[in-house]
Amino acid sequence: MTALTLTNVNKSFGDVHVLKDINISVEEGEFVVFVGPSGCGKSTLLRVIAGLEDASSGEIRIGDELVNLTPPSKRGIAMVFQSYALYPHLNVEKNMSLALKQEGQSKEVIAERIAKASTMLNLQDYLHRFPSELSGGQRQRVAIGRAIVREPKLFLFDEPLSNLDAALRMNTRIEIANLHRQLSASMIYVTHDQTEAMTLADKIVVLRDGRVEQIGAPMELYNNPANKFVAGFLGSPSMNFLPAGLVTEGDSRTLGIRPEDLRLSDGDGLAAQVSHVEHLGGDTNVIAHAGDHQITARLFGQHAVEAGQGVTLGFAPEKAYYFDEAGARLRG
Amino acid sequence: MNKARNNPLNMTLMHGALILYTIIALFPVFVILINSLKTRKAIFREPLALPSSDSFSLVGYQTVFKQGDFFLYMQNSLIVTVVSIFLVLLFGAMAAFALSEYRFKGNTLMGLYLALGIMIPIRIGTVAILEMMVATGLVNSLWALILVYTAQGLPLAVFILSEFMRQVSEDLKNAGRIDGLSEYTIFFRLVLPLVRPAMATVAVFNMIPIWNDLWFPLILAPAEEVKTLTLGSQVFIGQFVTDWNAVLSALSMAILPVLILYVIFSRQLIRGITSGAVK
Ligand SMILES: Nc1ncnc2c1ncn2[C@@H]1O[C@H](COP(=O)(O)OP(=O)(O)O)[C@@H](O)[C@H]1O
Ligand SMILES: [Mg+2]
């Protein structure tokens, strides 16, 4: 069964057309990540799904139900916000129980669900603290707990990790992945960070300027991007784009080649001048210039390459992608 | 900032300036207080002298309590001030919430209209207000004053509060909506507590002018049983003779209630004023 279906959803703020003909479906139990640069409309899309904004046109179905006119609290969703958005005047326990009280759940049910969620998130010791007495990571766990206790049909996360420091971000990411396995609930997760998208998602939706660029499993998008934007957005360091003329005389297309598909070669390839080298131990990142074009190569293992040196970078022809001037993928 | 604070010379100068200002500001109050405790002769002979055993006299206070119903006046003033401030805060906050939270046609226009009152003194409309009060039979009632003061306080209240409410986290309100809180609960339970410092600021700005106003009590509610303190004190100021003992005593006692109200609000007020500057 599908957990969520969006059909031709549009959203305008006055004259500003923010979401353009969005068609997405989320299967039951699926972890879907919306990824795209800042300002592309990810949060707006999530708010439309939650019912915090009305869609200007189009249909939103949660389960089988058309919910365009259903208020947020009746949609069977729960949302985790970037800024945590905990109620400052309520302690952790009351923060988590508020929605259940509003729903009119019995005391026993509330106590049981809070016990379960706080065990899952290691919050037992903090139940009587106020949000101001918690660290950022703890606050985020409370926010997630507040979502869990509602046992929603669909979880919505809006950049939940972006206020955490790098170490905590990785831990919380793993926690969210575990949570998804334990709850086997449908989740939508918004981020601008392609690493989060690649590591968490069953399915990635790439957005740009309020439009869906491509939908697919992480490796599918990585190996088979529909256009230059998707190719450049996923993968780190990101794909190199060069005029194909540098390799084949007279070719007017754009050549895309991932840094890890480049290798040092004695024979054919791109002649380039090394401008910087990053020795990471396991990998070596070589930043080189061919004319005005910057090329990043990620070489496996350790290589004795130095800045200022000339190198030839070769690649297997089947690893190359080609794009036309508008950025559409050219195949074959 | 910190450097300036740690420098002892700067500290001395800063405190010197503040102390000087405090003295200047408190001097008239001090003069009123000491003279209210002196005989009439002593007031005129040496206005700045402290009451001595010779010049000490409570005659002013006695007059005030004998003539006119001082406690009734005080009660009227308190009712008018407290109820007006309450209404200004309630309606001001509600209007500010609507303006800052909801997108609707004419939102900006409505905001401008409500703010217009900041620039136009309400006294310009006195004649029309009096006619309205006569027509509705509210003349010589405390309601006349309460309504006028509420109208007078609303523009600034809406202006200040809507600015503050725009800063309340959008996510927090949305979290409330998803948890099933009604818009009223979100307003009263989530937003209002967070703008409390701003509310205190508005309350203090409104309190003093209302308490001190003579104009509207004189025009709208001059009857004995609805007189406010300021108006009630006027009986001691005559065209030819003024009972200075009584006037000064009445004024001294009039300071008290506002002082108490001010202390209640001031903790919040300081947070309100500095909240923009110090984050
Ligand atoms: N309430 C609003 N009124 C007008 N424009 C808005 C509003 N909310 C968002 N936008 C615009 O919609 C676009 C997408 O915003 P948002 O969904 O927050 O992007 P993202 O979450 O992907 O960074 C932005 O250009 C933003 O200016
Ligand atoms: Mg966003």
Domain ranges of chain A: 2-231, 238-330
The CATH number that domain A238-330 falls under is 2.40.50.140
B interface mutation test: which of A73, A82, A86 has the most B CBs within 10 A? A73
Confidence band of B5 (pLDDT split at 50, 70, 90): low
Mean pLDDT of chain B: 87
CA distance B164 to B160: 7
Confidence band of A269 (pLDDT split at 50, 70, 90): confident
| A15 Cβ closer than 6 Å to some ligand 1 atom | no
Q: Is the pLDDT of residue B2 over 60?
A: no
pLDDT value of position B273: 54
Ligand with minimal distance to A208 CA: 1
CA distance B81 to B208: 9
Q: Is residue B53 part of a domain?
A: no
Q: Is residue B25 part of a domain?
A: no
Q: Domain holding B138: CATH number?
A: 1.10.3720.10
Name the closest-CA residue to atom 25, ligand 1.
A39
Q: Is residue B104 part of a domain?
A: yes
Per-position DSSP letters for A137-175, written without gaps between them: HHHHHHHHHHHHTT--SEEEEESTTTTS-HHHHHHHHHH
**What is the CA(A29)–ligand 2 centre distance, in A?**
24
Q: Do B180 and A52 touch (CB under 8 A)?
A: no
| A191 Cβ closer than 6 Å to some ligand 1 atom | no
Sequence-separated (6 or more) residues with CB below 8 Å from residue A286: A274, A276, A277, A278, A296, A297, A298, A299, A303, A305, A311
| Segments forming the whole domain that contains residue B253 | 67-274
Alpha helix stretches (DSSP H) within chain B:
2-6, 8-36, 40-45, 59-66, 70-101, 107-116, 126-136, 142-166, 170-178, 183-185, 192-194, 196-212, 215-220, 229-233, 244-275
| Number of other residues whose CB lies within 10 A of the CB of residue A161 | 23
Q: Do B172 and A72 touch (CB under 8 A)?
A: no
Confidence band of A50 (pLDDT split at 50, 70, 90): very high
Chain A touched by B196 (CB under 8 Å): no
Q: Half-sphere exposure (CA, 13 Å, Cβ side) for A90? A: 18
Q: Tell me which of B46-50, B175-179, B209-213 is least confident.
A: B46-50
Chain position carrying tokens 């353009």:
A20
pLDDT value of position A210: 95
Confidence band of B277 (pLDDT split at 50, 70, 90): very low
Q: Tell me which of A4-13, A74-83, A272-281, B235-244 is least confident.
A: B235-244
pLDDT value of position A29: 94
Q: Do B171 and A81 touch (CB under 8 A)?
A: yes
B-chain CB neighbours of A89 within 8 Å are 189, 193
Q: Is residue B55 part of a domain?
A: no
Q: In the predicted model, what is the mean pLDDT of residues B102-128?
A: 90
Q: Is residue B52 part of a domain?
A: no
Mean pLDDT of chain A: 93
The CATH class of A2-231 is alpha beta
Q: Is the pLDDT of residue B266 over 90?
A: no
pLDDT value of position B279: 32
**What is the CA(A109)–ligand 1 centre distance, in A?**
38
Identify the H or E element spanning A181: helix A166-183
Q: Do A87 and B171 touch (CB under 8 A)?
A: no
Q: In the predicted model, what is the mean pLDDT of residues B99-111?
A: 90
B-chain CB neighbours of A85 within 8 Å are 169, 171-172, 174-175
Q: Is the pLDDT of residue B278 over 50?
A: no
Confidence band of B200 (pLDDT split at 50, 70, 90): confident
> How many domains are contained in chain B?
1
Q: Is the pLDDT of residue B204 over 90?
A: no
Q: Is residue B24 part of a domain?
A: no
pTM for the predicted model, two decimal places: 0.83
Residues 165-194 of chain B with CB under 8 A from chain A are 169, 171-172, 174-181, 189-190, 193-194
Ligand 1 atom index nearest CA of B103: 1
Chain B touched by A47 (CB under 8 Å): yes
| A44 Cβ closer than 6 Å to some ligand 1 atom | yes
pLDDT value of position A117: 94
pLDDT value of position B242: 81
Confidence band of B271 (pLDDT split at 50, 70, 90): low
